[in-house]
Structure 1
């Protein structure tokens, strides 16, 4: 049986690892099946690349061979991207390979309803529900943009809301890395994206950017707030022309109670000029300020699922447990994509981590940096400033998240191996790092080490220029206050 005619069936064992149990659906270029992972017994989704589609049948042999090269490469890239993205709102990659000549991807199974079906059933949504969906999708999209990757097909059909109300961003099949050297897998004359959600630059076949996703997300947010898309058929000019040339009305025109700030946000996301659209971080910040929080009442009318539930859950209350992934096969990258770790991506990740720290909200950027410390040091050595920046932000994220045991050795290593020179600035920086180490160890009851660090920092600060001394003194006083508090309550050994 050739790959062109092969069709998966119930009970079939894929690559010796996944037993197919039921078809979940198919699109123009892919089939998705529910399967049981043999090694763990958990349910997973297995996505196959379709080789028997009508689009391929219409091509002559040479054109078909050329198109298959693109489809195989894009499918491999999707596996690589899923292996690199780590967010609860994006399915984890469990494995990938080829079965009887058909490429497949195994990933976390997401059950529930699509946002398309959810909107069709609940029209229009309570404001709290609309913003809760958008805010959670924005966080998943921010993770992709941090890599950086542009999704290129953001639409209600590609968002699934599970029974707990958590939205998941699906289908990275045409997603594209934005780093230098990423291969272009779109043939000239082929416009990617979905009608009604394409940015003007997509329609005009220009190179996509992260702001291309912002336009599509703006269309989705418009529909969440207004109960209808920004442009519809049957209203004068065609849909494509309207996306290219017409300015939409604010969503609040169609739904009472939409705050002006959200109207303004949506219209800025739908700006025809990509440069004038906000970045995903700015979008996420605005949405977060209007999103329901812990203790807020359930919205009326009720919906099932309830997308506000994850936002209203009291802090510290765990979500429904997610299955632990099995060992993930190494991502397969297409030509020109062998190097995922480039300096621009890391710098953007650092910028986002710094923003998270300023907001005192340990998040995905800092967590991702924590997973890159060994790699950046191995690839770039110990003298590159960017390596030290990654380690410092990763350590700070771990400290603020309460993982003192992991943070302490990172701070110590920076002081001992990554910080070079012995000038006043370097001595001040080492003093601050050692105070951080002592603070982390104090969480485990190491009082004497903390007292020693406080005294050492005081002596050092006395010999530093005023500005550097003030910085060390600020940090020293914080630790001194923690030591004093511990001494007043000796039974408290774990803060």
Structure 2
């Protein structure tokens, strides 16, 4: 049964009554449907096996392409089932309707960011920040899994009726790691023209930093009012993305802070390793968003992305993502004048015991929660502050929160390790190794190889006890790296 055979009024999966077609892409068609079980509306996405592109292939190629598309469709369902965030459509059901695979998910009434741009012209800075910060928070949820979206662009970002920003179309999204099956033909680049990272154009393996580049293009457009590269300049669009550095967005729009200027340019770095991680992106964007009680934009917006910040029920970035640990009950209230030293020491002891038992849990999460306050209140040189950060980072790493652990390790290296002596060089080497170990979960293999090699050279120049510490961690990371490089290809369901 082809997509032409889908009609309004049909019942899909015994649950979803089709109402109207609302969108069609290259290989999928989306219908608005009524969920008979819950009474709410849903979006039902069907794979289209009858497109013109497929008809141009011979029988063998067409069957191979259909197998790949069905596998991608299954992957999209598997990913959506794991991604729980209000900025990512929730998967309701999946199945086959008269031989055609379908996904049923939360319907997002609203407009695409592409339409939002067209309707509202240049955006006020707080409106741009509200869109960017919400999208970044949803992207962080995917990157924590870790999953790379691979097709971030204004057409795949929605602003809902309530002003919530939602990432759409995980159809070519991909989990990161060894053993993940490739569903791409050689010579076929994924992503959308004008938003592809250089490594996508060159058909290299994507990482989460690939999404950062595409998202950087979107954010540049949000704040500067134009894309970083446009047709009609001295080089073609692809050549510009590969070889040209963009102008700072402040060259096109007034009032852009230096920190945002710098962030957007680094997001568009040609070398993926020079791009910031999503947590750093969020750290720059969040302070630019409206606050509770802020005035609404003028002129008023039909779809207002500032509303979730100005009138918060569950504000963006509040930890509502299911892949992010829920806020822990505060041992130390935000209004307490000072942290209690003895209480912090007892919490460190509890976290240490959790780590030794191989089951980091509540105490580790509490330490990670209070670590910034301890650093602010007691300064960088107090040994207890370093103990808090070390235990929080080690605990999150062992618990599998690689993104959170990497952020803590990087902060320790930047703020808490001072001096150039042997002890400090040993500490820095171990911290860099731990960051590389965490980033391996996000597919950053080449960077890990460099860090492992550099640590070996550095250890050779350290006193024996310090060298042994570095070597122990270096061997751990090297073993992880070797296993990822040698991992078997495991087909996905």
- Does residue 1:162 correspond to 2:133, yes or no? no
Using the TM superposition, give the Cα deviation of residue 236 of structure 1 relative to its aligned residue in structure 2, in angstroms.
Answer: 1.4
Rate the CA distance shift 1:60–1:247 in 2: closer, same or farther, 3 A. Answer: same
User: Are the equivalent residues in 1 in contact too, given 2:152–2:215 (CA < 8 A)?
Assistant: yes
Using the TM superposition, give the Cα deviation of residue 393 of structure 1 relative to its aligned residue in structure 2, in angstroms.
Answer: 4.9
State which of 131, 134, 149 in structure 2 corresponds to 1:133: 131
- Report the TM-score, using the length of structure 2 for normalisation: 0.67
With CA pairs under 8 Å and 6+ residues apart, which has the higher RCO, 1 or 2? 2
State which of 108, 111, 114 in structure 1 corresponds to 2:109: 111
Q: Following the alignment from structure 1 to structure 2, what is the Cα–Cα distance between the partners of residues 271 and 101?
A: 44
User: Are the equivalent residues in 1 in contact too, given 2:195–2:214 (CA < 8 A)?
Assistant: yes
User: Are the equivalent residues in 2 in contact too, given 1:366–1:394 (CA < 8 A)?
Assistant: no
User: Are the equivalent residues in 1 in contact too, given 2:152–2:211 (CA < 8 A)?
Assistant: yes
State which of 286, 304, 307 in structure 1 corresponds to 2:305: 307
Residue 297 of structure 1 corresponds to 295
Residue 388 of structure 1 corresponds to 359
Per-residue CA deviations over 1:214-254 (Å, capped at 9, x if unaligned) read 00000000000111100000111110000000000111111
- Does residue 1:364 correspond to 2:364, yes or no? no
Residue 122 of structure 1 corresponds to 120
Using the TM superposition, give the Cα deviation of residue 129 of structure 1 relative to its aligned residue in structure 2, in angstroms.
Answer: 0.1
Counterpart of 1:389 in 2: which secondary structure? coil
User: Are the equivalent residues in 1 in contact too, given 2:26–2:51 (CA < 8 A)?
Assistant: yes
State which of 223, 239, 242 in structure 2 corresponds to 1:241: 239
Counterpart of 1:96 in 2: which secondary structure? strand
Using the TM superposition, give the Cα deviation of residue 180 of structure 1 relative to its aligned residue in structure 2, in angstroms.
Answer: 2.3
Using the TM superposition, give the Cα deviation of residue 306 of structure 1 relative to its aligned residue in structure 2, in angstroms.
Answer: 1.1
- Does residue 1:87 correspond to 2:58, yes or no? no
Rate the CA distance shift 1:5–1:19 in 2: closer, same or farther, 3 A. Answer: closer
Query: Where do residues 329-368 of structure 1 align in structure 2 (5 Å cutoff)?
Result: 362=319, 364=321, 367=324
Q: Following the alignment from structure 2 to structure 1, what is the Cα–Cα distance between the partners of residues 67 and 303?
A: 40
Using the TM superposition, give the Cα deviation of residue 384 of structure 1 relative to its aligned residue in structure 2, in angstroms.
Answer: 8.3
How much is the aligned-residue C-alpha RMSD, in angstroms? 2.7
Residue 201 of structure 1 corresponds to 199
Using the TM superposition, give the Cα deviation of residue 6 of structure 1 relative to its aligned residue in structure 2, in angstroms.
Answer: 5.0
Using the TM superposition, give the Cα deviation of residue 387 of structure 1 relative to its aligned residue in structure 2, in angstroms.
Answer: 5.3
Counterpart of 2:254 in 1: which secondary structure? coil
Counterpart of 1:288 in 2: which secondary structure? helix
State which of 40, 43, 50 in structure 2 corresponds to 1:42: 40
User: Are the equivalent residues in 2 in contact too, given 1:369–1:391 (CA < 8 A)?
Assistant: no
* Structure index of larger Rg: 1
- Does residue 1:180 correspond to 2:178, yes or no? yes
User: Are the equivalent residues in 2 in contact too, given 1:126–1:301 (CA < 8 A)?
Assistant: no
User: Are the equivalent residues in 2 in contact too, given 1:153–1:194 (CA < 8 A)?
Assistant: yes
Per-residue CA deviations over 1:155-203 (Å, capped at 9, x if unaligned) read 0000110111111000000000003211111111010000000000000
Using the TM superposition, give the Cα deviation of residue 396 of structure 1 relative to its aligned residue in structure 2, in angstroms.
Answer: 8.0
Equivalenced residue count is 348
Task: Structure 2: state its 5+ residue gaps.
Answer: 328-352, 371-386, 392-493
Using the TM superposition, give the Cα deviation of residue 83 of structure 1 relative to its aligned residue in structure 2, in angstroms.
Answer: 0.2
- Report the TM-score, using the length of structure 1 for normalisation: 0.66
Using the TM superposition, give the Cα deviation of residue 13 of structure 1 relative to its aligned residue in structure 2, in angstroms.
Answer: 0.6
Rate the CA distance shift 1:230–1:92 in 2: closer, same or farther, 3 A. Answer: same
Q: Following the alignment from structure 1 to structure 2, what is the Cα–Cα distance between the partners of residues 362 and 100?
A: 40
Counterpart of 1:289 in 2: which secondary structure? helix
Using the TM superposition, give the Cα deviation of residue 312 of structure 1 relative to its aligned residue in structure 2, in angstroms.
Answer: 1.2
Using the TM superposition, give the Cα deviation of residue 17 of structure 1 relative to its aligned residue in structure 2, in angstroms.
Answer: 1.4
Q: Following the alignment from structure 2 to structure 1, what is the Cα–Cα distance between the partners of residues 26 and 57?
A: 15
Residue 413 of structure 1 corresponds to none
Per-residue CA deviations over 1:311-355 (Å, capped at 9, x if unaligned) read 1125xx358xxxxxxxxxxxxxxxxxxxxxxxxxxxxxxxxxxxx
Rate the CA distance shift 1:186–1:92 in 2: closer, same or farther, 3 A. Answer: same
Residue 73 of structure 2 corresponds to 75
Using the TM superposition, give the Cα deviation of residue 4 of structure 1 relative to its aligned residue in structure 2, in angstroms.
Answer: 4.0
Using the TM superposition, give the Cα deviation of residue 8 of structure 1 relative to its aligned residue in structure 2, in angstroms.
Answer: 0.9
Q: Following the alignment from structure 1 to structure 2, what is the Cα–Cα distance between the partners of residues 46 and 247?
A: 41
Residue 491 of structure 2 corresponds to none
